[in-house]
Amino acid sequence: MKNMTCIEDLRQAARRRVPRAFYEYADGGSYAEQTLNANRKDLEGINLRQRVLVDVSNRSTATTILGEPVSLPLALAPIGLCGMQHGDGEILACRAAHAAGIPFTLSTMSICSIEDVAASVDKPFWFQLYVMKDRGFVRSLIERAAAVKCSALVLTVDLQILGQRHRDIKNGMTVPPQWRLGNIVDMASKPLWLLSVARGKRRTFGNIAGHVRGMENFNSLSHWIAGQFDETLSWKDVEWIADQWQGKLILKGILDVDDARMAAKTGAAALVVSNHGGRQLDGAPSSIAALPPIVEAVGSSIEILFDGGIRSGQDVMRAIALGARACLSGRAYVYGLGAGGQAGVTRAIEIIRNELDVSMALTGVKSIGEIDRRVIAN
C-alpha cells in the first residue's frame, strides 16, 4: 500500500481489481455526470493561501463531530453494496475507520447487516436510514440500530426516486441484475476479488434478507427495494423518525438554503450538505458551491457536515474553510476498499490525514479550529 501515494492511485488499483460493473457503480454518477464532475471541479477551483514563517510545530488534526472526539474531521459515508467492492467490505471499512479514530456509517443497502458489523467491531457506528414505504420495516431498522447502540442515525433525504446512472444500465446493474456472459468472464478474471467475496459472510442485502417475508435472493430483494422508494416522503416523516429515534439524528442530502432552514427546525443534531455524490439530480450545483449560503443561513443552529468530491486533505481543508464541521468520504475510501480491503481503507484515510496535516502547516494553521476563510486565496 505504500506505493499508493494519492487517492487516484487507489482508484486505478480498484479499477484493476474490482469487476467493471461494481467499479463503475461506485465511480459513476447520474445522467451526463455534470454534478459529479462539478463536485471535483469546484473544489479544485478553490486556491489555498500559502503562508510562511509561522511556527506550525505541535499541530493537530483532532476535533469533534457531534461532540465526540475524532482524530480528523472526517467520517466514512454510507455506501450501498459496499461489500461488493470487497468481501465483508462494511466490516473492514468500519474497522479501518475506528482504528483511525473516525466514525463509520453503515448504509441501509449494505451487504453486511447491522448485526454483522456490530458483532465484528468494538465501538458504535452510525447507521444510515432510507425511509421505505413499509414503515413497519423502517421502524424495525431503527430498533435494530438502537439495539446495537449505533451512535447516530443518518437519515438520507435526497432519494425519494432514483437518478438514472447510464453506466449501471449498460453494465447490467439493474433490477433484476443481469448476469451477462461479459460480467461473468470479467468477474472470473478478478481472482482476488472473487476470493474475498466468496469468503465474505454475505452476497446480498444483509439488512433486508431474512427480515422481509419471502425476500431471500438478490433478484427478489432488488425488486422489493425498487418498489419501496417512497415519493410521498415529506418533513412530517422526518418528525416521525425523530420521534422513533432517541439518539443523535443527522439529515443527509441538503443542498438548498430553504431546505437547510427546515432541517434546522427539526431538532436534528447535524445536516450533511450533499448531492449524493452527483448520483441524483444531475444539473444540481456542486456540494461545495452550496455550502457557504447554508452555513450562513443555519450554521449557528445546527452542525454542518459536507460531502461530495472529497479526494484529498486539501479538499477537506477547503470545506472546513467554508464552514463545514467535518467531511464525509464516499468514493475515496471505496476505492481504497476495492484496491486492498481494510489496508486500502486505512491507506485512504492516512493519505487524507497526511495531506491535511501538511496543508495546515503550509497555510500556517495548527488546529482545525483555526481553519477558516483566511486559508483561502481567491
Ligand X SMILES: Cc1cc2nc3c(=O)[nH]c(=O)nc-3n(C[C@H](O)[C@H](O)[C@H](O)COP(=O)(O)O)c2cc1C
| Residues of this chain that bind ligand X (CB under 6 A) | 25-26, 39, 77-80, 107, 109, 128, 156, 252, 274, 276-277, 279, 307-310, 328-332
Q: Which residue has the closest beta carbon to ligand X?
A: 330
Residue with smaller CB distance to ligand X, 173 or 375: 173
Dihedral class, residue 364 (left if φ above 0, else alpha if ψ from -120 to 50, else beta): left
Is 181 exposed, middle or buried, given 0-12, 13-18 or 19+ CB atoms closer than 10 A? exposed
Q: What 3-state DSSP class applies to 76? A: strand
Residue with smaller CB distance to ligand X, 17 or 276: 276
CB of 352 to ligand X, least distance (A): 11
Q: How far is CA 347 from CA 1, 25, 69, 91, in A?
A: 7, 22, 21, 16
CB of 113 to ligand X, least distance (A): 14
Is 98 noted as a catalytic residue in this protein? no
- Where helices occur in the chain by DSSP H, the ranges are 7-17, 20-27, 34-44, 89-100, 114-120, 135-147, 166-170, 181-188, 191-199, 218-226, 235-244, 257-265, 287-298, 313-321, 331-363
DSSP string, 164-178: P-HHHHHTT-SSS--
Residue with smaller CB distance to ligand X, 163 or 200: 163
Query: How many angstroms separate the CA atoms of 35 and 275, rounded?
Result: 8
Query: How many angstroms separate the CA atoms of 34 and 43, rounded?
Result: 14
CB of 366 to ligand X, least distance (A): 27
CB of 166 to ligand X, least distance (A): 15
User: In which residue are the cell numbers 483532532 written?
Assistant: 62
- For residue 227, the tally of other CB atoms under 10 A from its CB is 11
CB of 177 to ligand X, least distance (A): 15
CB of 52 to ligand X, least distance (A): 32
Q: How far, in whole angstroms, is CA 349 from its chain's centroid?
A: 13
Q: Are strands 68-70 and 326-329 parallel, antiparallel or unpaired?
A: unpaired
Residue with smaller CB distance to ligand X, 314 or 329: 329
Residue positions annotated with a catalytic role: 276
